[in-house]
């Protein structure tokens, strides 16, 4: 993706450890972290605190990508979902470690640290979160 290493590096806490933040005024949780809470706005300034999210949640919708971007074309077909995390925020990520036909709305999932993409054969490798089914 455009921008190179620094652009990725500055998001490492969010991408590696799902660090969001919480409004000190209303306690709502955000991912990715926001400068201000959209509900409390000026009351939240200076009161946004980083928190590590559990990485557990539920699929609220998904798709199977059959035609992927250049950096993902060797992975097709692959599932991508919007997951509602336990703390409230929703997040877009790939679903892994299951058959693509097993992916369902309502499925419980948890995050896992994986390779996401790379800057060509000799470039930097970018890591981050994907989600896998929670084994009962």
Residues of this chain that interact with other proteins (CB under 8 A) are 1, 11, 32, 60-72, 75, 77-78, 80-82, 89-94, 105, 116-117, 126, 128-130
The CB-of-111 to other proteins minimum distance in angstroms stands at 12
Least distance to other proteins from the beta carbon of 95, Å? 11
Measured from the CB atom, the residue of 19 and 71 that comes closer to other proteins is 71
Measured from the CB atom, the residue of 51 and 65 that comes closer to other proteins is 65
DSSP classification of residue 86: T
Residue placing its CB nearer to other proteins in the complex, 70 or 136: 70
CB of 135 to other proteins, least distance (A): 23
Q: How many helices (H) and strands (E) does the chain have?
A: 2, 8
> Alpha-carbon dihedral of residues 116, 35, 22, 125, nearest 10 degrees?
10
| Whole-number Å distance between alpha carbons of 90 and 33 | 12
Least distance in Å: CB of 102 to other proteins? 14
Specify whether the backbone of 23 is left (phi greater than 0), alpha (psi in -120 to 50) or beta. beta
- Separation of alpha carbons 41 and 132, rounded Å: 35
Nearer to other proteins, 52 or 104 (CB): 104
Which residues lie across from 113 on neighbouring strands? 129
């Amino acid at each position: 993706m455009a921008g190179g290493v620094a652009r990725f590096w500055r998001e490492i806490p969010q991408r590696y450890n799902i660090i969001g933040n919480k409004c000190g005024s209303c306690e709502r949780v955000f991912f990715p972290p926001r400068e201000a809470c959209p509900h409390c706005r000026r009351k939240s300034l200076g009161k946004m605190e980083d928190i590590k999210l559990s990485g557990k949640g539920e699929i609220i919708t998904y798709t199977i990508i059959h035609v992927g971007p250049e950096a993902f074309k060797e992975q097709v077909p692959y599932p991508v979902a919007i997951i509602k995390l336990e703390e409230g925020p929703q997040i877009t990520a790939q679903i892994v470690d299951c058959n693509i036909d097993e992916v369902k709305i309502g499925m419980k999932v948890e995050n896992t640290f994986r390779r996401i993409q790379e800057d060509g054969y000799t470039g930097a490798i970018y890591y981050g979160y994907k989600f896998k089914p929670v084994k009962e």
